[in-house]
Chains A and B, each alone.
Chain A
């Protein structure tokens, strides 16, 4: 029989997290700090709106771009939170999660051989999506000493005549790093100078602590070269509703709409009605969840300090990214041993790029009670590792 498969797709590695998931799933009583989604239920008024839309029989397609009502709310939201004005009719597209928007943007913008700059550690889908869209992923390895922020120098060093898109994944999964307006300004300057476009994945934009998020699209001359991607999964604890959006120049959004229209038709209708309520009445919920995450973040940072575990202070998302380099193990080894010895699951930093080696992603999308138990176990584990090391040295 002929090979039924596309060679390009066959070459794509499955997500590194998958392997770890399989190991953890075997272990019945493991505590996991490995989840990349909120622990909160979707606020009730949003769920209620979803239910109501079903009761009303709103079970039909919406327009390909999404409900006009929702697109208008999205544009109002971006105006009030980021000060950016988009046209709901021409510059806004409602997608099946932020992930779809990432895929669409690459496919709409890349010609074969175009290079896509992907700072790592970062979310697992940029690289395969860029590759499947015939782009050439070029990795920029972010450094712990810069708190995993992208610097102008790192960006400039990676640019070639073929570079077309810079992915800007901040607030960042897995490091929790954010980039402030001051830090974005020089990046924007380089982007304009080299005539690049930015895919700005701002899915964690509502989860920043002590700083407010700045979108690169709000900087001078940047709106016309930025695809802003956001969604409801993290801000409103709506992962399972699968709802995100992209905003950007009409020329790009209209092409993304073509792909979306033929592959997806439209995002789920009841999710869209629920999201309207999220944007109209959900600011207080977002504020409460942000405060709860911030409390956990402070708790974790304090415990790491007590344990003497090196970790830069992250100001975004719901992850911390401590270093385990002192133990002389790879991230994979450490995570596996921690799971075996203490039944605590964390994700090795390498799942998010080779430069995540020596780090772990620890999620704090868990109750303080759960975090306490898990952190006590991690404490116990590293105390034993240090004792073993000392004994060897004697």
Chain B
């Protein structure tokens, strides 16, 4: 990957709302060049979306997140891709990773209540024919997500003026 792309990605990964003109200034590039690179990376699906980090715990919105370890039988000719797709197509599934180690797929899922999540596991996930077993872990608290520490505003403790 070229250096310009790398610089852009590193910056917008943490701050996708930056204004284009400002981004160009900060990176020391031409505005048109930055716009071009971003457009191309969107086309190439290097940039897959612009999302918002939300700490749902601070809202009234009730939400439950669970991690589910899934053991599956890979299918001939398809490996894990087919079963992964059948899982990730459910909109409540937030992520699906193929994992090395004691199980195969790590699935994260968001639901409104414990019951909703349990139902998804027992009704939808476990009943898929290649799924051998599941283990569900409910998340009690998110300390850090996507490289961002939740709910900690750090005060500047430096002295105001120093040589």
Contacts and interface: CB of A to CB of B under 8 A. Distances in A.
Interface of A: 15, 17, 20-21, 24-25, 30, 32, 34-37, 39, 123-125, 173, 291, 294-296, 298-299, 302, 345, 347, 351, 368
Contacts of B161: 17, 20-21, 24, 32, 34-35, 345, 347
A201 to B, nearest CB: 13
Nearest to B10: A291
Contacts of A173: 163
B26 A295 contact: yes
Interface residues of B, number: 15
A345 B160 contact: yes
A123 B162 CA distance: 11
A37 B162 contact: yes
A315 to B, nearest CB: 12
Nearest to A30: B160
B22 A299 contact: yes
Interface of B: 7, 10-11, 22, 25-28, 156, 158-163
B25 A35 contact: no
A345 B160 CA distance: 8
B162 A368 contact: no
From B11, B26, B27, residue with most partner A Cβ within 10 Å? B26
B27 to A, nearest CB: 7
A302 B162 CA distance: 25
A368 B14 CA distance: 13
B160 A298 contact: no
A302 B160 CA distance: 25
Contact of A124 (B22, B159, B160, B163): B163
Contacts of A34: 160-162
Contacts of A291: 7, 10
A299 B162 contact: no
Contacts of A294: 28
A351 B158 contact: no
B163 A351 contact: yes
Given A295-B27, A299-B26, A15 B163 contact: yes
9 tightest A-B CB contacts, nearest first: A34-B161, A21-B161, A32-B160, A295-B26, A302-B25, A36-B162, A24-B160, A124-B163, A17-B163
